[in-house]
Amino acid sequence: MPADKELLYNDYKATMRKIADVKYATAVLQWDQETYLPPKGAHFRGQQLATLSEIAHNMFTNEKLGKLLNELISKDLDAKQKKNVQLSLEEYNKLIRFSSDFVRKMSEITSASFHAWLEARKQNNFSVFEPALSALVGLKREEANILGYDAHPYNALINEFEKGATVAMADKIFADVTKPLLILLDEVKQKPFAEDRFLHQTFPKQQQWEWGIYLAKQLGFDFEAGRQDISEHPFTINFSSQDVRITTRIDEDDFKNMTWSTIHEVGHALYEQSLPADEYGLPSGEYASLSIHESQSRIWENCIGRGHEFWQFYFPKLQQYFPHQFNDVSVQQFMQAINKVQPSLIRTDADELTYHFHVMIRYELEKNLMEGSLQVKDIPVYWNEQYKNLLGVDVPDDKQGCLQDVHWSHGSFGYFPTYSLGSFYAAQFWEKAQSEIPELSSKIALQGDTGLLLHWLRSSIHIRGKYYSSEELCTLVTGKQLDSKVFVDYLRQKLNYL
């Protein structure tokens, strides 16, 4: 690279890394807010987060950076450098539309919303959350207008989480998968429900915690580059590829809650820990998209963590951790229980089939909120009606209903569709991995060794950073675009096996 280009690109890298420093410092405070922050610290934490968010925004929208990016984009850079500059320039041109006052206000209201959500869950009363959420929804509508959109305001928001995604695209994907899933659900209902009472005995918190740590280590989570904690809603957050935090939650009366939350978040964390450290602060050091991120958690949680091969090896280990609870249970009974299909209230506890109806309900609700056909105060009634119509379940209270997810308190409108997209990508990646690694199943079943899969994911997906869009990456890795039929076939095969 000629000297002038090299100097310019090095200047760009240094600037992006300084911005990343501030953004990840903000993330540390956000992680603390959801794990260890004392209740009285909420007000000043909101102020601190708003200040840092404003600083990061001002750094990114600085005119000097804009000039640097516009100069670099015309240079003869290599492919990765060109992509980095292109993506940063797109982000710059988007962010300069927002005033620093708007960014600060969004951060303040988001922080207030999170604490209002916590209090509303404590009181089991949506009305406690309603004022903060109403303010946040108003800001998200304003954000959509600032970003600009075609056809539907939700398009502006979903694009923030899944570049190129639109309401038309999501509507088609959900329409294509709804009928096959309903047919499969009807077939499952014709059979007796699996016995799963043994999953609802008493499982002491400390034993569950130790079991979760063991699983995380076995799956490849690097505790020298991360840690696990407890939070109200499980999540993964990173401050670099060398510092990735996951959280879980423990219900002493429900074995499934912690185990698959942990496996799910480990899947996210393995992706973050595998991103190239030398690309810190640059798009090439970031994940491809939210749906690809979700594909990584779902492939570990479901394709591995609810698969027969995994438990063929790990069920005896589980019996050592919980001898009283599982000694009289066979691995086949356990498999049937953990893959039991039955409409339920809680999205994060849902089986692989009905899970997507939970996502559809949230997706439709968010669209209606953004277009103004649904008001925030009407969310509980709408939610309860949809759960009755689509899943056939009665919602007993707000905590088990519309207060169950943390996402809206974060302002994450447009996020939920990526959960289903991620599951569909996961099935396609899993199919390809099995075809390319013939010994994968036997390695897992006989040795509990998932390292071959992790290596394949790292070399096929993780190392590529943000160079490709979701569809481009899917086509590159699997040889075809996203096809939800692969997911339906995967699920049908699993359920028939059980």
Which residues are tagged catalytic? 265
Strand arrangement, sheet containing 226-230: 226-230, 243-248, 236-240
CB 449 within 8 A of CB 322: no
Question: Distance between the two ends of the chain, CA-based, in angstroms?
Answer: 58
Nearest to 132 by CA among 143, 146, 145, 118: 118
Nearest to 267 by CA among 287, 239, 249: 287
Using DSSP bridges, classify how beta strands 243-248 and 236-240 pair: parallel, antiparallel or unpaired: antiparallel
3-state secondary structure of 282: coil
Instruction: Give how far Cα 357 sits from Cα of 25, 41, 181, 273, Å.
Output: 36, 37, 9, 31
Place of tokens 């294509």: 176
Q: What 8-state DSSP symbol labels residue 481?
A: -
Query: Tokens in use for 198?
Result: 């043994």
Give the C-alpha separation, 5 to 19, whole Å. 21
Spatial CB neighbours of 86, under 8 Å, sequence gap ≥ 6: 73
Q: What 8-state DSSP symbol labels residue 139?
A: H
Q: How far is CA 397 from the centre of its chain?
A: 25
Number of Cβ within a 10 Å radius of residue 3: 7
Give the DSSP per-residue string, 207-219.
Answer: HHHHHHHHHHHHH
Spatial CB neighbours of 297, under 8 Å, sequence gap ≥ 6: 236, 264, 265, 266, 267, 268, 422
CB 383 within 8 A of CB 401: yes
